[in-house]
């Protein structure tokens, strides 16, 4: 029973780290998007939502690759795939905030 409790605590720590990284990346994407919104040419050509998605699709893989290079691990195909999935989550958080994400999580995860 102690092993299961230890595993649950470790899983919770991993989830909190993941949420922290998503929050940090969403903050970075939001800051860059706010700066780019003031570029008149870009604001006329692309809507802000598209800019946020493109920024997320660039920044998230770069963050994963940087983290893997720092840790000295090799890059595998599923990490690249996961970085693109994470990019859409980061874009969602950057555009709509945490309220939308918690609403979607509440619908997907049934609480007992």
Q: Which residues of the chain have pLDDT under 70?
A: 1-13, 98, 110-112
* Exposure class string for 63-93: b at 16+ Cβ within 10 A, else e: bbeeeeeeeeeeeeeeeeeebeebbebbbbb
Instruction: Give the chain's end-to-end CA distance (angstroms, integer).
Output: 21
pLDDT of the residue at 62:
93
pTM metric for this prediction: 0.73
pLDDT of the residue at 1:
46
What would the two tokens of residue 102 be? 């918690």
pLDDT of the residue at 4:
47
CA 90 to CA 103: how far, in whole Å? 15
Counted domains in the chain: 1
Which domain range does residue 70 map to?
Answer: 2-108
pLDDT of the residue at 93:
87
């Amino acid at each position: 029973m102690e092993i299961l409790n230890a595993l649950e605590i470790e899983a919770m720590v991993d989830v909190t780290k993941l949420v922290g990284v998503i929050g940090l990346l969403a903050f970075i994407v939001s800051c860059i998007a706010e700066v780019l919104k003031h570029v008149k040419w870009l604001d006329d050509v692309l809507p802000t939502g598209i800019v946020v998605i493109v920024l997320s699709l660039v920044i998230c893989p770069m963050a994963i690759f940087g983290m893997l290079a720092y840790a000295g691990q090799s890059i595998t195909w599923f990490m690249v795939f996961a970085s693109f999935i994470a990019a859409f989550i980061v874009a969602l958080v950057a555009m709509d905030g945490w309220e939308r994400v918690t609403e979607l999580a509440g619908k997907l995860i049934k609480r007992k």
